[in-house]
Amino acid sequence: MQDNTGLKISEAKYVRSSHSKNNDKKRVHKTQRIASTIAVVLCFAFLVLGGVLVVSSYTSAFQIVVEGEGLATLPTEREAKTAIARYLEEQSELLGIDVVCGDSVKIERVSSREAVYYSTKDAVTALNGYVQVLAKAAAICVAGVNDGQPVMYVANEEAARDVLEQVKAHYGRVGEDNVEAIGILEQVGAFSSKVAPEQVFSTEEAANMLLFGDAYVEYHFVETEGETFEYIANRYDLEVEDIKEANPAVDPTNMAVGEAILLAKVSPLISVQVKRVVVSREETTFETEQRDNYEMPRGESKIVEEGSPGEDEVTTEVIERNGVVVAQNRVSALTLVEPVTRVVERGAKAVVASRALSVNLGNGILGWPVNGNITSRYGYRSMGYHSGIDIGAPVGTPIAASEAGTIICAEYMGAYGNLIKIEHTGSLQTWYAHLSAFAVKVGDTVKRGQMIGTVGRTGRTTGPHVHLEVRYEGVHCDPTQFLEPRQVVIEDN
């Protein structure tokens, strides 16, 4: 029997049988190789994924050791370092700050005989809770505070700069609210350090510490108009004085709704100085000018011209320290409205008194220079013409100016002895003779009742007294016509 290939069927069967045996052998060998490979791969994967692998004693392993205790073994030093690095990354992310290992963490080479290798992930887990981490921080120091030791720690030097900006911003910003300059008076420095993570402050906590001496400050926010420090103190069981001291810049009589009131007595670690240049308007007072009116009786007065205040634009430099004004300097003043002087006329008319001697003398223009009796009157007397009156008083008695004026003479002058002359307004002069001492000099301006010297007996005199002369337009007059009323005794005749 033949098929279309020209081969007998039996021959064909024989040929197929021979090839089949060869192919079967090849398939068996190939299958065995594949199976062996798969078995090796599966075994390795099982051992790796299970976290353990037994190796021969002829290689080394690397163990992560914390305080003498081995926590995880890895095949290479590189893998051990990688595990520690990943642990630190996780801790940094968890704490929100860069951290490093403490000195207790080491990598040691060990024998691999029957060593149990950890995967990187399992090694990281094994380190958790055993490895102490330290924060890479910036220490802030303030000159003169805490004996030069750090007062706090923040994340890094950039955070330290941010803290100082927050501190200054608490009191103002340059260009706002008349602030021209702002600065911290103490020297503040920062340097790299490693500390426990719980010692690291946020920038807000650090700023509070510098501002108030406490990182965790509390505030009361004004809820209604009319609140007082007393109300706040009672609400929080505090002392009113402590609240006042904690809020020096707050006006307790005018607190706005929403205003923050600090609830603790503060002890700032630094001093923030703010310089403000304030421009304001101020009312200026007017002066009063008094003019003598010799047509009006003494004792009367009238306003000739009403005065009015002026207005200045004043520039003031204000220095504040921690919110409290410590100095103010008036820089300049620009007059916007000139003040108008008030003019008052006062009576200066001399009323001639009766020449009849009486116990009530004078019309009150002049005051008595001393309190004493008239020992010699004005006019003709047994010893000749007397151009004034003598008023008796002990040596050394103070002599007062009878009216305001200017000293035009203070010297020794013959029979007058030590003599003082005072020029008053309206061509009126008063002379005081026989003084024992001068209390003024030529050119001085004196007020009515001001001491000008003391009673004596210099010159030609029979006893201690003051000789008083009154001269009007250069002519001497009876002083009793000008002296204010008082009870006197005239001892001469």
Q: What is the pLDDT of residue 346?
A: 82
φ/ψ of 296, rounded to 5, equals -110, 130
DSSP letter (8 states) at residue 366? B
353 compared with 163, residue with greater pLDDT: 163
- At 274, the pLDDT band (50, 70, 90 cuts) reads very high
Q: What is the pLDDT of residue 6?
A: 30
Each residue's pLDDT tens digit, 96-118: 899 998 778 899 999 988 889 99
d(CA 161, CA 207): 11
Between the CA of residue 457 and those of 302, 379, 380, what are the distances in Å?
44, 21, 22
Starting from the edge strand earliest in sequence, which strands make up the sheet with 69-74, in order? 69-74, 60-66, 105-111
What are the b/e assignments for 412-446, b being 16+ CB within 10 Å?
eeeebbbbbbbebeeebbbbbbbbbebbbeeeeeb
Q: What is the pLDDT of residue 247?
A: 86
d(CA 435, CA 468): 11
φ/ψ of 273, rounded to 5, equals -105, 130
- CA 90-160-138 angle, to 5 degrees, is 55
d(CA 21, CA 438): 157
Nearest 10 degrees: Cα torsion 475, 480, 481, 482: 80
d(CA 371, CA 201): 82
DSSP string, 194-242: EE-GGGBPPHHHHHHHHHHS-SS--EEE--STT--HHHHHHHHT--HHH
Each residue's pLDDT tens digit, 173-222: 999 989 999 999 999 999 999 999 999 999 999 999 999 888 888 889 99
d(CA 54, CA 47): 9
Amino acid at 137: A
Q: What is the pLDDT of residue 307?
A: 92
What's the chain's average pLDDT? 83
Each residue's pLDDT tens digit, 228-267: 999 999 999 888 988 888 888 888 888 999 998 988 777 8
What the block records as the tokens of 438 is 């001068």
d(CA 74, CA 55): 12
Q: What is the pLDDT of residue 56?
A: 38
Mean pLDDT of all residues in 384-393: 91
- At 5, the pLDDT band (50, 70, 90 cuts) reads very low
Q: Which domains does the chain have, with CATH numbers?
A: 60-127 (no CATH), 132-215+264-270 (no CATH), 218-260 (3.10.350), 272-345 (2.20.230.10), 356-481 (2.70.70.10)
**Does the global pTM surpass 0.85?**
no
